[in-house]
Structure 1
Amino acid sequence: MSLPILYSLQNCPYAMRARLGLLLAQQAVMLRAVVMKNKPAAMLAVSPKATVPVLVLDDGTVIDESLDIMIWALHQSDPLDLLHRNEPEAYPAMLALIDIHDTVFTSALSKYKYAVRYHTDNEVELRRQCAVYATMLESHLSQHAYLIGDKVSLADYAILPLIRQFSRVDRQWYLQAPLPHLRNWLNKHLQDQRFAKAMAKYPQWLETNEEFLFGHAD
């Protein structure tokens, strides 16, 4: 039986999210590394939205939203119980926290990155908008080791890539901001070997025509 195909871009936070989900679920796929300036026709044919990640299952089903890829993978296998299956209230709480992240926070973060890069007048206000969400996460983490409680969950790994990006926009501000628990949480995840594995670099598929086995259990 052929394995699913994952089209992925190394430094895209949404592609990172998908790769983390597949690794944590120990779901083997064949990874095709792409760059956005040279998108493969095979990827565009199955997902006209033309962004990564794109997962093509062996039955032809296409999943091209990063959170959906994580959820699909964890429904196949969830060895760390990231969905907290014995806590009915946990899963909706995860999705609610991720939804705010994927709408309000990411929208503000996109504008904040641009403002810092081009030194626009609204930089401070956009940072404040991002910080509202970061402060909410800080509040969660001041009470528990992870975002939904004392056990790591889907929410931690789904939110991680964009918080990593946020921490790099204005590094000096971030390091002195009143977010000690968030910084500790982020550092702990970034130092984890699973994150290092998710960030491994692969040659471009269009240049080498080579796919790479990814996500399988060691």
Structure 2
Amino acid sequence: MSALPVLYSFRRCPYAMRARMALWAAGVTVELREVKLANKPPELIEASTKATVPVLDLGRGTIVDESIAVMRWALRQSDPEGWIAGDDAELLAEADGPFKHHLDRYKYPNRYESEPGFGQVDHQAEGLAILKRWDARLSKQGQLCRETRSLADIALFPFIRQFANHNRDWFDAQDLPHLHPWLAAHLSSPLFASIMPKFAPWQQGDGPVKFGPLPEN
């Protein structure tokens, strides 16, 4: 077992992105194991029967396999920016519940065609309605919970990024005067750039890949 916590991750997964950003901001260095979702390593499946990223293996049988739980664990180790002040349960539930529901059906309609009532809902419009509520929230302060970024901002923006990128021209034309610059700022942040390098998929026998803001010794 590595002396470092082991993080199973996938670069483009928004759940994994939020976990990596919290670990990075907390100054927690991990052993990163990039996962190819079409060929998941047995070690990931053994660690978590759910076998979806992120999974954080802390050793001695301690597994954290929900993205928000990984964020909260990281911030308990260190929270230099006070992100925990933005641990807004209602907002996170809306993001991971209704917004993610509409995002999936907007982005991958072929997967849900057999779902009862699928064609009766405009998932693009429903997702936009939620974004408009968040835009109004941003109009009152710089970020979702306060003037500076916090857990909620970091947890939500990877999913808003997905929604925006599905039809960027349409998204950019929407009346979201506060959310547009908010999203652009997060996407261009040094934090986001730091957690997005490309890594080859991990295989048993590969040497450890250290991932974190601290330099290797």
Normalising by structure 2, we get a TM-score of 0.90
Provide Cα deviations, 1:55-112, integer angstroms capped at 9, x if missing partner: 000332001111100011001100111113xxxxx54xx2211111001100110001
Deviation at 1:118, TM superposition (A): 10
Of all paired residues, the percent bearing the same amino acid is 40
1:18–1:53 contact (8 Å) kept in structure 2: yes
Residue 143 (structure 1) aligned with residue 140 (structure 2): yes
Deviation at 1:154, TM superposition (A): 0.4
CA distance in 1, matches of 2:208, 2:35: 11
Residue 99 (structure 1) aligned with residue 93 (structure 2): yes
1:26–1:77 contact (8 Å) kept in structure 2: yes
2:105–2:112 contact (8 Å) kept in structure 1: no
Which structure shows the higher helix fraction?
1
CA distance in 2, matches of 1:26, 1:123: 46
CA distance in 1, matches of 2:209, 2:180: 33
Provide Cα deviations, 1:37-56, integer angstroms capped at 9, x if missing partner: 11111110111111111100
Name the structure 2 match of 1:108: 102
CA distance in 2, matches of 1:100, 1:34: 28
Deviation at 1:142, TM superposition (A): 1.0
Name the structure 1 match of 2:14: 13
Name the structure 2 match of 1:71: 72
CA distance in 2, matches of 1:166, 1:134: 10
CA distance in 1, matches of 2:109, 2:183: 24
Residue 55 (structure 1) aligned with residue 88 (structure 2): no
Q: Please point out which of 177, 180, 201 is paired with 1:180.
A: 177
CA distance in 2, matches of 1:22, 1:163: 20
4+ long deviations beyond 6 Å: 116-119
CA distance in 1, matches of 2:24, 2:54: 14
Deviation at 1:170, TM superposition (A): 1.4
Name the structure 2 match of 1:4: 5
Deviation at 1:124, TM superposition (A): 7.7
CA distance in 1, matches of 2:145, 2:70: 20
CA distance in 1, matches of 2:89, 2:150: 11
Instruction: Specify every segment of 5 or more residues in structure 1 that has no aligned partner in the other structure, as ranges.
Output: 85-89
Residue 203 (structure 1) aligned with residue 203 (structure 2): no
Secondary structure, in 3 states, of the residue corresponding to 1:159? helix
Instruction: Specify every segment of 5 or more residues in structure 2 that has no aligned partner in the other structure, as ranges.
Output: none
Structure 1 pair 118/55, CA: closer, same or farther in 2 (3 Å)?
A: closer
**Aligned residue pair count:** 210
Secondary structure, in 3 states, of the residue corresponding to 1:184? helix
Provide Cα deviations, 1:130-180, integer angstroms capped at 9, x if missing partner: 012101110011111000121211000000110010111111110010112
Deviation at 1:207, TM superposition (A): 7.5
One-letter amino acid of the structure 2 residue matched with residue 19 of structure 1: R
Structure 1 pair 118/109, CA: closer, same or farther in 2 (3 Å)?
A: same
CA distance in 2, matches of 1:62, 1:176: 43
